[in-house]
Amino acid sequence: MKKPTDCRSLFPVPAETDLPPNLQGLFGKAREALGFVPNVFRVYAFRPERLSAWFNHFSKLHEPTAGLSVSDREMVGVVVSSANGCLYCLVSHGAVLRQELGDPIQGENIALDWRRAGLSPRQEAICGYAEKLTLRPREMTGEDVSKLLAEGLTAEEAWDVMELAAMYNMTNRLAMGTHMEPNATYYGQARLGATDNPVP
């Protein structure tokens, strides 16, 4: 059976004690908040400077705005990860999405088939944009942006949908290229009947 502490990669996974102080601090904060260190941190620490740069970028992209909430931003990650078939990101961000929505059923439905998840027109426009940029990037046009604007997103928020989708496509490929595996804890988080739901 998979253990909560399991971390596998096709590349070396550095010991936490060998990492720069700032990353040791990041790992410590994650452990304090979640009870574990997400495997994406441990695997990506093979390139420590890039882990730091990516996490700073990731954090900025997930800052909520009036028209694009934390759950909206996580929804982009889940839709992209579902389209790409990325196990790590779909499991980990699926857990975050379930918690942020406060609705485990809708969160799971978005991961499985967002078109049948009972989303609002605004949410559907966000998901449609993210999926199209993932699967058919050469077909993107101004009309795709216009659909987001028509649903009340600002130009900056429409940009964020684009940048979030692009970032998650990158991390999906890192996760799949390294054979990164989800922490076992994610699987049970923010589900019906679950009581211990901390997610990053």
pLDDT digits (tens, 9 = 90+) for 14-72: 999 999 999 999 999 999 999 999 999 999 999 999 999 999 999 999 999 999 999 99
- Tell whether pTM > 0.85: yes
pLDDT digits (tens, 9 = 90+) for 99-131: 999 999 999 999 999 999 999 999 999 999 999
Which of the four pLDDT bands, split at 50, 70 and 90, describes residue 193?
confident
Question: 3-state class of 65 per DSSP?
Answer: strand
> Which domains, from first to last, does the chain contain?
16-61 (1.20.5.810), 70-178 (1.20.1290.10)
The four Cα atoms 22, 23, 29, 34 give a dihedral, to 10 degrees, of 170
CA-CA distance, 96 to 15, in Å (whole number)? 26
